[in-house]
Amino acid sequence: MAKPTARPHPVIDAPPRLPMRGHPLSDDEFHKATPTVAWAPRLEYAWDTGAAIGRFLDGLRAGKIYGVQCRTCGRVVTPPRAFCELDFKPMDAWVELPDTGTINTFSICYVTWDMKPLRTPQIPAVIEIDGTVPRGGFLHLVGGLRGTTVEAIRTQIAVGTRVQAVWKKPKDREGAVTDIVHFTPLRPRQKAR
Amino acid sequence: MENGVTGGGSRTAPAVRMSGLIRRKPRRRVAVVGAGLSLFMRRALETGKELSYYAAAQALESAGVRRRDIEGVIMATAPDAFDGVHMKGDWLLDGAGGVRRPYMRAYVGGGSGVFSIISGWTLVASGLFDLVLVVGEEKMSSCQPHPQSAFLTIFDHTIERPLGPNLLWIFALEQHRYMSTYGLRNEDIALVSVKNKHNAMNHPAAQVARELTVKDVLASEVVAWPVHRLMVSPVSDGAAALVLASEEVARRLTDKPVWVQGVGWALDTSYWGNRDLAYPRYVEQAARMAYEMAGVTEPRKQIHIAEPYDPFAYKELHHLEGLQLADKGKAPEDLAQGRFARTGALPVCPSGGLMGVGNPIAAAGVMKLCELFWQLRGEAGARQVPGTPERGVAQAWGDLMQVGTVAVLGTR
């Protein structure tokens, strides 16, 4: 066992004044000197979609975005849910929404979850779908843009940019959120349907 | 609820409206009487149990009590997936001093650190116990190849994970919404990294203390625009602990008890795309509850130190606004004017925060409470804020970006 020692740090006149313990491993120690035990778990799950999201996914397969309405608080929201979490009662109606909306916020992400660099960035965004309450958005991607730099992308989209869903071909759809490939800016002459 | 200030900036905002969030003010007072830390580090040789033991033993020593005097134990530690150990709270029990004691895990993700003192407070305030040990621990480094993999499962399995998300997305999306709502620049945000990493130069447990400029922060790699690498707290291993006591026992143990004057917590909907990402309403609700209990009606006058949760640079500003310590969208301006410096009108993260000391998640929240304990006793040495601070607030945040946990500590 490596001998626990205090990390050398400048003597600072500040608490805790009792000696602090902990042995930070150097890369060398971690890779060579210190034995570790590795385990890669294999866990598999089959998640049921639930009543509300199941119908939402069926809608996507048909090229439609559905929301739900609560007549007590008056909200139309998507993704759909079976009950209103504010009024705690069943939702009152299903609403077919247009496949257009507005970018609430977006990011331009150059790393994967394990911090590997991405040459072509992912552009996650919260899209407020038309016909829902303000800020009634959901997470999706923006695509169909030119260039890969922050500057190039920001000349094409901003918070407030109007966007429309780009769908997979009907035969390729599988009742998944990815049946929408991404959202892309509406061209000026294009009208929301 | 609205600040509604028409002039004079954040310093002269009106009193907080009391909102009846608590039924009655609890009568039994609870004090913090001891605090302890391990080093915070990128990768520790020690196991989570060992780190917990280091911090817990130091807290007991500083309080002048032994484990056998402790009647109940609270353990805060974030996702089991970091360690690959199911029921890790129970597994860490031995290191937290919880063997053969009433023992509970406090767990609301990143909010767990401050939730731990709330949980410990309930055990003492209820009259159940006189002496309770509170421990926060995190060992993120075990998770390979990067602890972000443990976070992937917070996204909805059906409608979000197929899009290939990573944890940075939600922070980047929230920061951008915050910036666009109030017309903020990334320079305004980067200053948080500069301040906190500077403050941490005086923290002996610190992992990522550095002297930097705003230019350095913005020259660091863009990981998920608008977030740059130096706006993100590090992966950390570490532990922190506190000893809580009833009034009678606290008075026997110390001349300088630090009172838990108020606690509050709240969670917002898990449909996070339906929330206002520019403003953490759940933090406001938690703060109002804690302030009401503490009798704080004018937080900007009555709170002298703040330790808001700063896992990302913008989060400190976001949370200061939720805590009613700055007007909506105005925290960056206050920061630029020096209001939040250690020597400013409202020192914020004098410890160095998560951006400077490090972010072993649940332990980081407890570290903030340790800092308030030392600051309010006037014992913070090189980190001591000027004057004689009488009241401070610590706050943490987490779960699916939806929980606010708040504790108000004071000398009276």
Give the minimum alpha-carbon distance from B179 to chain A in angstroms, rounded to a whole number: 10
Gap between the terminal Cα atoms of chain A: 69
Q: Which of B141, B394, B201, B191 lies closest to B286, judged by CA?
A: B394
Does residue B356 lie in a domain region?
yes
Q: Are residues B173 and A122, on separate chains, in Cβ contact within 8 Å? A: no
Give the minimum alpha-carbon distance from B47 to chain A in angstroms, rounded to a whole number: 10
Which of A2, A22, A81 shows the shortest C-beta gap to B38? A22
Which of B61, B167, B203 shows the shortest C-beta gap to A14? B203
Q: Which of B37, B151, B161, B176 to mutate to probe the A interface, most A CBs <10 Å?
A: B176
Please report residues of A whose CB lies closer than 8 A to that of B223. Answer: 109-111, 115
Q: What percent of chain A has pLDDT over 90?
A: 73
Does residue A7 lie in a domain region?
no
Nearest CA in chain A to B367: A16
DSSP string, A49-109: --HHHHHHHHHHHTT-EEEEE-TTT--EESS--SEETTTTEE--EEEEE-SEEEEEEE-EE
DSSP string, B106-124: E-BTBTHHHHHHHHHHHHH
Q: Where are the alpha helices (DSSP H) in B183-307?
A: 186-199, 214-219, 247-253, 281-294, 299-302
Please report residues of A whose CB lies closer than 8 A to that of B381. Answer: 12-15, 17
Please report residues of B whose CB lies closer than 8 A to that of A135. Answer: 274-277
Give the minimum alpha-carbon distance from A152 to chain B in angstroms, rounded to a whole number: 13
Q: What is the pLDDT of residue B329?
A: 98
Does residue A190 lie in a domain region?
no
Coil vs helix vs strand at A8:
coil
Residue A36 has pLDDT above 60, yes or no: yes
Q: Which of A174, A183, A57 lies closest to A125, judged by CA?
A: A183
Q: Which of B271, B37, B10 lies closest to A17, judged by CA?
A: B37
Identify the sign of the CA torsion B338, B344, B349, B352.
positive
Range of the structural domain that residue A154 is part of = 51-185
Residue A33 has pLDDT above 90, yes or no: no
Give the minimum alpha-carbon distance from A2 to chain B in angstroms, rounded to a whole number: 8
pTM (two decimals): 0.93
Q: Where are the alpha helices (DSSP H) in A107-190?
A: 150-154
Q: What is the pLDDT of residue B1?
A: 33
Q: What is the pLDDT of residue B200?
A: 98
Chain A stretch 116-145, residues whose beta carbon is closer than 8 A to a beta carbon of chain B: 121-122, 124-126, 133, 135-141
Which of B41, B144, B273 shows the shortest C-beta gap to A7? B41
Q: Are residues B224 and A176, on separate chains, in Cβ contact within 8 Å? A: no
Does residue A24 lie in a domain region?
no
Does residue B38 lie in a domain region?
yes
φ and ψ of B155, to 5 deg: -80, 150
Nearest CA in chain A to B167: A113
Does residue A44 lie in a domain region?
no
Does residue A2 lie in a domain region?
no
Distances (CA, A) of A50 to A81, A89, A94, A136, B157: 9, 17, 15, 20, 12
Range of the structural domain that residue B240 is part of = 29-144+235-410
pLDDT in tens, A48-95: 999 999 999 999 999 999 999 999 999 999 999 999 999 999 999 999
Q: Are residues A16 and B204, on separate chains, in Cβ contact within 8 Å? A: yes
Chain A stretch 145-184, residues whose beta carbon is closer than 8 A to a beta carbon of chain B: 150, 158-160, 176-178
Query: CA A126, CA B174: separation in Å to the nearest integer?
Result: 10
Which of A124, A158, A178 shows the shortest C-beta gap to B173? A124
Which of B45, B146, B222 shows the shortest C-beta gap to A2? B45
Number of domains making up chain B: 1
B378 burial class (0-12, 13-18, 19+ CB within 10 angstroms)? Answer: middle
Please report residues of A whose CB lies closer than 8 A to that of B222. Answer: 108, 110, 150
Does residue A169 lie in a domain region?
yes
Does residue B16 lie in a domain region?
no
Helix and strand element counts for chain A (H, E): 3, 12
Higher pLDDT, A35 or B315: B315
Query: CA B313, CA B311: separation in Å to the nearest integer?
Result: 7
Nearest CA in chain A to B53: A21
Chain A stretch 86-105, residues whose beta carbon is closer than 8 A to a beta carbon of chain B: 104-105
Does residue A76 lie in a domain region?
yes
Does residue A30 lie in a domain region?
no
Number of domains making up chain A: 1
Task: Please list the pLDDT of chain B residue by residue as tens digits (412 residues).
Answer: 333 333 334 555 555 555 678 888 888 999 999 999 999 999 999 999 999 999 999 999 999 999 999 999 999 999 899 999 999 999 999 999 999 999 999 999 999 999 999 999 999 999 999 999 999 999 999 998 888 888 888 899 999 999 999 999 999 999 999 999 999 999 999 999 999 999 999 999 999 999 999 999 999 999 999 999 999 999 999 999 999 999 999 999 999 999 999 999 999 999 999 899 999 999 999 999 999 999 999 999 999 999 999 999 999 999 999 999 999 999 999 999 999 999 999 999 999 999 999 999 999 999 999 999 999 999 999 999 999 999 999 999 998 889 999 999 999 9
- Average pLDDT, rounded, for chain A: 90
Does residue B328 lie in a domain region?
yes
Residue B87: how many CB atoms within 10 A of its CB?
A: 10
Q: What is the pLDDT of residue B13?
A: 55
Higher pLDDT, B410 or A116: B410
CATH assignment of the domain containing B392: 3.40.47.10
Quickly tell me which residue has 């992966």 as its tokens: B235
